Amino acid sequence: MRISRVMVWLSAVFSMSAVSSEWPTDLAVSPSAVNMTLQPKVVVNSGRLEWAPFKRDLTRWPSLSHADKQPTPKPRKVMLEEPLNGDPIRGRELALAREKGYCIVCHELPGEAWPGTVGARVLNFKQHNYSNELVFQQIFDSRAFNPNSVMPPYGTFGILNEQEIRDLVAYLQSLD
């Protein structure tokens, strides 16, 4: 018990030092905070730039710093085990939720004003007769079909979990 705790502690120290030696010095972060990411705040009539905590920690993904050594997660192909077991009502919520799918930024969905026009309209989706597996893969990681896709790889990047993607597939497949 004791030994294993020391081991955990030691490995934590090691992995931290490994990270900090590689850590780019030009990231806008507060290293001691739980959410490290900072956003700038301009204060009128002041020569100092203030920084405030951002609502999420973004240090887990690569930045544009020349010194950033974090790799971009590679495209992943996934299999979908049927039955789908998705909840279409929850799926619709996820498609509109800002910190979840927020598909509406790019796609037109039925009954919603101010849709994005970057992706295809997702209106009578059922008529395409796409397999669940294909739609699951498109949401999980669209790079499997199109390496230049601008649609975020929701599954590979951990934005949505498997059940959430199942719910979204169920929602889209219910649109007739």
Binding site for other proteins (CB under 8 A): 26-29, 37-40, 42-49, 54, 56, 58-66, 68-72, 74, 104-106, 114-118, 143, 147-148, 150, 152-153, 157, 159
H runs (alpha helix) in 54-176: 88-96, 132-140, 162-173
CA atoms within 13 A on the CB side of 129: 0
Residue closer to ligand HEC by CB (options 11, 124) is 124
The helix/strand/coil state of 143 is helix
6: partner contacted, choices ligand HEC, other proteins, none (Cβ within 5-8 A by kind) = none
Dihedral, CA atoms, 90, 94, 97, 99, nearest 10 degrees? 130
Q: Which of residues 129-158 bind ligand HEC (CB under 6 A)?
A: 135, 138-139, 142, 146, 149-152, 154
32: partner contacted, choices ligand HEC, other proteins, none (Cβ within 5-8 A by kind) = none
